[in-house]
Structure 1
C-alpha cells in the first residue's frame, strides 16, 4: 500500500505506535472533563465557583511543574517520561471512582485534579519533543498535523463516550472507562524505539542551569516568547471563562448535559478541519495567518453571552475549533525546526507553562467577575480583549513567519543557541 511505502509518514514504526497510543489515550482524556464537571456540579447544585476551583487546580499544577518536567524530558528517554506520566494519571482517575461522590470535601477532589495536572506537565513536553526522534525533518509538519488530528478526533469521540457512559452508569463510574483507555494507550508506548540520546550523566549540568537554558532559549527567540506570553492572557480570558461557564450556562438554559459535550466535540472537529485546510494552503506568512484566524476563538464567549439556542453555541465552538487549526498545523513544526533538538523538551515545557499560566486565574475569578460585572457584560468584554491582544503581537520580530531572520542566527545570540 502507498500509505506504508518506504519514506511515507506511516512507514515509520515508532511514529505509528505513538499515533495509535495517542488515539486510545486521548479518547479517555476527552471523556474525563465531562465526567468530572458532571460529578462536581451534581454534588454542589450547579455552583460555578467550586467547579472553577477544581478545574483550575489541574491547570495550576501544569503551570507550576512544566519547567521542571521539561528538563526531565531532555535528560531522560522521552518514551519513559511519557509512560511514567500516563500510568500516574491512570491511577488517579481510578481513585475518582471512590472519591467523586456527594459528601467528599472539595479540597480532596481539587488535590486529585492537581496531581492530574502534574501528570499533564510531565507528559506534554515529552510528547511534543519526541517527534523529531521518530520522523525525519521533512515529515515533521505532516506528523504534527497527524498527531493533532488524532488528538482532536479522540476529543470528538471522548466527550461522546463520556456523555454516553454518564447516561448509562453515572459520572463516577465513567472514570473506570477513562482509566482503562489510559492503560491501553500507554501499553503501546513500551514498543517504541526513539532515536534520541539523552545527555550523558558526566556531561549533565546542574538542574538549575538546564532550566535556565530552556528559559533563555525562549527569551532569545522573540517570536516564541511573544506568542507564548500573549496566548497566556488570551487563554485566561477565553478558556478560563468558557470552560467554567459552558456547562453552567447550558445546563441552566437548556436543562441538559448534552450541549456542552457536543460543543467540546465540534470544537475538536473544527480544529481538525482547520489544520487540514491550513496544511493544504500555501501560506506566505504563517504566523500572521494563525493570529488573524485565532480571533475566531472569541466566538465561544460571545455565544455564551447570548444563549438563545443550543445551535448558536455549538456553531460558535465549531468556529473556535477552526481558529486553532492553523496553530496545530504550523506551531510545533516551526519550533521543532527553529530550536535544537536537545533543548526542545525545555522549550515545549515553557510553552506548556506559559500558554496555560493564567487559565487557573481565569477559572477561579470567573464566578466573582460574573457577579461583579454581570455575566453578559463580562463575556462580551473578554471576547473583545481576545481580538485586541491578537492584533497587538504582529509587530514582534519573527511572529509573521514563525521564524527569526537570518541576521539573528548570524549574531552571537543565534550562534550560542546553535552550539
Structure 2
C-alpha cells in the first residue's frame, strides 16, 4: 500500500505519533458529543422551539454532506494533516463565536444557522483525513482503529452527560467555549505529529480529474461499492429509522431515565466491540464483520419486546458491540486496501453514502411510523437488517475478500 506521506519509524501502537493522534481525536470527539445538548438547550432557551433545533442541526448536516467530496479531493491535494489542522482552527473560531453570542445575549436564529453551516463545512474538510491518518501514525492499523473506536464510545457516553451538567449550571455559552477549546487541543496535537509533508507535485492535477480518479477507483472495487450499496438500504431502514423511533418506545415504557441507561449500555457495548476487534485478525474481515450487522439488529427489536431496563441494556450492549466491531473491521479494510494517494477521496464517497442513508432513514421514520405503527416498523426494520446481512455474505467479492497481513 502506498501513502502520500511516510511517518518516521514506529516501534509499537503506542508511539508518540499515535498518542498525539489519539489525543486529537479523543478531545474533539468529546466536544462533538457535547454539542447536541448545548445546541438544543441554547436554541430552545432562545425561544426558537424544536423547529429551530432541527434547523440548526440540519444546517450542520447539510453543509457536511454538500462539501464532503470537496474535502476528500483537497485532503489528497494538500495532505490530510494540513487540512485537518485548518478545519480545527476554523471550528475553534466558529464555536468560540457561538459561545460569545450566547454569553452576551440571545443570538438570532440566522446567526446560529450560519455558524453551524460553517462548522459543517469545516467538518467536511476534516473528516476525509481521519481514515488516511491512521496508517501514518500506527503500524497495527486494526488495533489503532479499535482504540479509536473505544475512545469514540466513551466520548459518546461521557459527552452528553458532561454537556448536560455544564449547560444546566453554567449555560450553553460555557459549553460552546469548552467545545471550541477541544478543537484547539486537537489542532495542537495534529501539528505536533512527526510526519513528512505531502509531495507538492500531486497538486498539479485539476480538482475535477482528481474527483473522477477517486470515483473510478471506488467503482472498480466490487467489494467497496457492494458494501456501500447494501449499506444504503441497511443504514436507511435499520439505524436511520430505528434511532428516532426506539427513543419514543423506550421513553414511553421506561421514561427518560430508562432511555439514558439503555444508551449508556449501548456506549459500553461500543467499548466491548472495539476491544474484541483489537484482538481478532479474521482472514476474511468483511465476512466476519457481518456479525456486527446481525447483532445491531437487536437495537430495533429488543424495545418492541418490552423486556424492562435490565434486558434492554443487555440487548443494546450487544448491539453497540456489533456496530463497533463492524466499524473497526470496515475502517481497517478500507485503510489497508485502498492506495494512500486515493484514500481520502474514496473515503469521502464512503462517508457520503453513510450520510445519505442515515438522513433518508430519519426522513422516513415519521411517515413509516404513521403507516405501520412504531412496533411493527421496528420488526420490519429488524427483518431488513437480517436480509441485508445475508446479502453482505452472499456477495462473493465481499465474502471472499482477504485481509492485508
TM-score category (smaller protein): 0.7 to 0.9
What SS does structure 1 have at the residue aligned with 2:393? coil
1:158 equivalenced with 2:162 (yes/no): no
Cα distance change, pair 184–404 in 1 and its aligned pair in 2 (3 A)? closer
CA distance, structure 2, for counterparts of residue 306 and residue 107 of structure 1: 43
- CA deviations on 1:139-171 (whole Å, 9 max, x unpaired) are 222222222222222222212212322443455
- TM-score, normalised via structure 2 length: 0.84
1:33 equivalenced with 2:32 (yes/no): no
- Which residue of structure 2 lines up, in the alignment, with residue 90 of structure 1? 92
Give 1:199-278 correspondences, 5 Å limit: 199-200=200-201, 204-245=204-245, 248=248, 254-256=254-256, 258-278=257-277
- TM-score, normalised via structure 1 length: 0.81
1:175 equivalenced with 2:176 (yes/no): yes
- CA deviations on 1:335-385 (whole Å, 9 max, x unpaired) are 222111111111111111112212222223323332333233223322222
Structure 1 residues not aligned, in runs of 5+: 406-419
What SS does structure 2 have at the residue aligned with 1:69? helix
- Which residue of structure 1 lines up, in the alignment, with residue 278 of structure 2? 279
Give 1:323-338 correspondences, 5 Å limit: 323-338=322-337
Q: Calculate the aligned-residue CA RMSD, in Å.
A: 3.4
Cα distance change, pair 6–204 in 1 and its aligned pair in 2 (3 A)? closer
- CA deviations on 1:308-358 (whole Å, 9 max, x unpaired) are 644454444322211123223322222222111111111111111112212
Query: Are the aligned partners of 2:30 and 2:159 in contact in 1 as well (CA < 8 Å)?
Result: yes
CA distance, structure 1, for counterparts of residue 269 and residue 377 of structure 2: 25
CA distance, structure 2, for counterparts of residue 52 and residue 400 of structure 1: 39
CA distance, structure 1, for counterparts of residue 165 and residue 61 of structure 2: 26
- CA deviations on 1:89-119 (whole Å, 9 max, x unpaired) are 333334444469x997877655544443323
CA distance, structure 2, for counterparts of residue 94 and residue 254 of structure 1: 38
How far the C-alpha of 1:81 sits from its partner, in A, is 0.9
How far the C-alpha of 1:225 sits from its partner, in A, is 1.0
- Which residue of structure 1 lines up, in the alignment, with residue 370 of structure 2? 371
Cα distance change, pair 316–23 in 1 and its aligned pair in 2 (3 A)? same
1:119 equivalenced with 2:122 (yes/no): yes
Of the candidates 130, 133, 145, which is equivalent to residue 133 of structure 2?
130
Structure 2 residues not aligned, in runs of 5+: 1-8
Query: Are the aligned partners of 1:27 and 1:154 in contact in 2 as well (CA < 8 Å)?
Result: yes
CA distance, structure 1, for counterparts of residue 170 and residue 250 of structure 2: 22
How far the C-alpha of 1:32 sits from its partner, in A, is 1.5
CA distance, structure 2, for counterparts of residue 51 and residue 312 of structure 1: 32
CA distance, structure 2, for counterparts of residue 43 and residue 374 of structure 1: 34
Of the candidates 9, 13, 17, which is equivalent to residue 9 of structure 1?
13
CA distance, structure 2, for counterparts of residue 251 and residue 95 of structure 1: 35
How far the C-alpha of 1:250 sits from its partner, in A, is 5.2
Cα distance change, pair 128–220 in 1 and its aligned pair in 2 (3 A)? same
- Which residue of structure 1 lines up, in the alignment, with residue 60 of structure 2? 58
How far the C-alpha of 1:71 sits from its partner, in A, is 0.6
- Which residue of structure 2 lines up, in the alignment, with residue 19 of structure 1? 22
1:396 equivalenced with 2:395 (yes/no): yes
Cα distance change, pair 330–251 in 1 and its aligned pair in 2 (3 A)? closer
